[in-house]
Amino acid sequence: MDKLMIFISDESGDTGVPHSINASKLYTISYALVINKNPDSLKHLISSASSASKEALGTGLSEWKKLGKDNKNNPQKLHKFIQNFYTKMNENGELVLFGFYIVDKQEIEQNDGDSNNKKRIKDAADQGYYFILKRVLACMKKIHYEKGLYPSNGEPALKWIIDNNSKEFISRQKKIAQDFEKNMNVKIEGPEFISKKEKHSHYKVNAIKIVDLLGGIASKIFESYAICNTYCNSLDCFREANCDNKMFKVWEEILKCAMNQQIYLEEKDNIIWRWKGIQYYPALSRSKHDRFFTEDGFFSTLS
């Protein structure tokens, strides 16, 4: 296994209050952690996603906003894409962990007075990468330790590729990376900010498009769930016989690599980590949505 792991991330939505004109209902950070088994791991990830997109969506790898409505609103196509994507990754022998940090702006608006909403949403978005990296780096160190790479071979290393953003955002993420390097005894290469329009870093652009697309799908499904949540009292979104929301089948596929992934030291060996990659804010309201996210005790420690 390569000592260097690759962390790819992107954000979607905005930090405006949800009732504002053109404001999004969610702010979502989507990401992938590539557990390198060989130098071509990232190449295999992109190849798997590109091939799955052509087969299921009838188009090459695309950003969510550029995907046609006939694909965005078709749960059968989205389900086929996710399923084919995961299948192809497994065929290549790749281990990739996916995750989402979802800021539910409407939930914040319901819980707080208007004067606090904007600040709470902005703070939640700003803290997103702190909560994500805390979980990602803990998993990475555990894998390196069990593989005998840490501490004998030095600090575990993470290469961070992220979509380009404002100067304030860039400065904030660099500070977060520096703080984690100092406090967790890890090495973070980056964050390297890449514009999706860049051509000289084609493979990095495509890597970001993958998490962008997954983030769009996850946000679409959660918004669909939020509508159901206003009138449905089912305890399990995936086993409700009378549920006609076909998006839940897509979400069930996403959960396989975002919440239910088990990491083994070697094939058929003991489990060394149970990956839980879906984080929700406000965290104190998270338990209300266990039927959709599935349970994760980590969330009870967030505020």
Distance CA 114, CA 37 (A): 49
Cα–Cα distance between 142 and 5 in angstroms, integer?
Answer: 13
Number of domains in the chain: 1
For residue 56, the enclosing domain spans: 4-301
> For the purposes of burial, counting CB atoms within 10 Å of the CB of 24, is it exposed (0-12), middle (13-18) or buried (19 or more)?
middle
Question: pTM, whole model, 2 decimals?
Answer: 0.91
What pLDDT is attached to residue 268?
A: 56
**Crossing angle of helices 202-229 and 75-91, rounded to 10°:** 130
**For strand 278-281 and strand 95-104, is the pairing parallel, antiparallel, or unpaired?**
parallel
Tell me which residues of the chain have a pLDDT lower than 70.
1-3, 37, 111-115, 150-151, 198-201, 266-269, 297-303
